[in-house]
Amino acid sequence: MTWDFSTEPEFEKKLEWMRTFVKEEVYPLEVLDADEAGFRRVIRSLQDEVKSQKLWATHLPPELGGQGYGQVKLGLMHEIEGATMWAPIVFGNQAPDSGNSEVLAHFGTQAQKDRWLYPLLDGRLRSAFSMTEPFTAGSDPTLLSSTARLEGDEWVINGHKWFTSNGMIADFLIAMLVTEPDAGPYERASMIIVPSDAPGLKRLRNIPTMAGESERFGYGHAEILYENVRVPAANLLGKRGQGFLIAQARLGPGRIHHCMRWLGLARRAFDMLCERALQREAFGKKLASHETVQNWIADSAAEMSAARLMTLHAAWVIDTQGAAAARKEISLIKFFGAKVLHDVIDRALQIHGSLGYSGDLPLEDMYRLARGARFYDGPDEVHRVSVARQILSGYKEPQGKWPGEHIPTRREAAQRKFAALLEAATTDV
């Protein structure tokens, strides 16, 4: 029997340390009034503490300075980090740097690792991932239109990207570009490293979004023009036309991390929901004694528990069978987890009334962040379609005109199957 829901005691101790550290040291960053230099000094001192606990950049294998924990353990860590937007930065595995470092670790040449990966892991460089475009549907990246053409020993890049997270502050970008226009839809694109000081790279702006104020110090989602940007041919990641293959390797585990982080955030909102239920009184009794509120608490607990088990299961499939084997599980949690996140925050906001709607509590900020979860890294609809297709591929159309479970047809078959025995019974009587 191999089912096991326990956490190794040694690892549980690390998680316990993280819970206390995140709550006591990282939560205050959300409300700290500091200039960027001061803020960075505080972050750096917290990062040093994380490094001394050997919990820095744990998504990477040991040969690259990570702990090589695998997705289940990483998931449990991300659950704790997700409660506040600053924790992933303090732990060295924030998106998009974590995904980019995985790509560099797995597909980069030694020279690319020396130039980009190790400084990124050290926190000396920052990165961005530049795929989505304003004028083609990001949910169908076979439509990408930005191009890179090889001229001598340089790529010449032209295109228009947006929602490149941290694009304004990144030292380099990994751009997804069409290099093989005549190839099949999934072999047309490649990933290319673009230094942010490459001539022709125009970082236009951080796009104003629903997230608003929480995007401080240049963090945010950039609109970028690539106008005859030239980078060395050696900046290609992997082989020509491997962009989709690399993107799949990058996005699978990344979605587990997202979903676990959402659970951490949902849990924080849920705690607020329960506390307020015990604090506030209306119509002669505490809100906690009203049946609707009890339903919210029970529904939220059930939904978070379901999402957590589904996400850890998807992580376990990746750990034991690889990311490709977990495609269905990853799609399931991506749309289900986003809904759970939204619904739990929504109930927590509702129970706080106007206080929940105000900027005096973090709920309105969480609510706005939660909205994006329904489409970044693939909209709900696309993941649902993917899940349904995979499930349907395991079924066959029933033979005949009636459904397989049609009772009169089954009764007839059952009569035939047991006819001899039924006959014998009649004779016995």
Task: Summarize as ranges the residues that interact with ligand FAD (CB under 6 A).
Answer: 96, 129-132, 137-139, 163-165, 221, 372, 375-377, 379, 381-382, 385
Please identify, using beta-carbon distances, which residue of 210 and 282 lies nearer to ligand FAD: 210
| Closest to 326 in 3D by CA, of 376, 369, 384, 387 | 387
The CB-of-380 to ligand FAD minimum distance in angstroms stands at 7
- 311/278 Cα distance (integer angstroms): 30
Please identify, using beta-carbon distances, which residue of 267 and 334 lies nearer to ligand FAD: 334
Please identify, using beta-carbon distances, which residue of 341 and 351 lies nearer to ligand FAD: 341
The CB-of-379 to ligand FAD minimum distance in angstroms stands at 4
Please identify, using beta-carbon distances, which residue of 73 and 221 lies nearer to ligand FAD: 221
Please identify, using beta-carbon distances, which residue of 17 and 376 lies nearer to ligand FAD: 376
The CB-of-94 to ligand FAD minimum distance in angstroms stands at 11
Q: How many beta carbons lie within 10 A of that of residue 223, not counting itself? A: 18
Please identify, using beta-carbon distances, which residue of 168 and 382 lies nearer to ligand FAD: 382
Please identify, using beta-carbon distances, which residue of 113 and 368 lies nearer to ligand FAD: 368
**Closest residue to ligand FAD, Cβ-based?**
138
The CB-of-194 to ligand FAD minimum distance in angstroms stands at 13
The CB-of-168 to ligand FAD minimum distance in angstroms stands at 12
- Using CA atoms, how far residue 265 sits from 136, 211, 249, 271, 288, in Å, is 31, 15, 25, 10, 22
Please identify, using beta-carbon distances, which residue of 132 and 300 lies nearer to ligand FAD: 132
Q: HSE-up of 114 (CA within 13 Å, CB side)?
A: 3
The CB-of-85 to ligand FAD minimum distance in angstroms stands at 11
Please identify, using beta-carbon distances, which residue of 221 and 352 lies nearer to ligand FAD: 221
The CB-of-38 to ligand FAD minimum distance in angstroms stands at 26
The CB-of-214 to ligand FAD minimum distance in angstroms stands at 11
The CB-of-228 to ligand FAD minimum distance in angstroms stands at 21
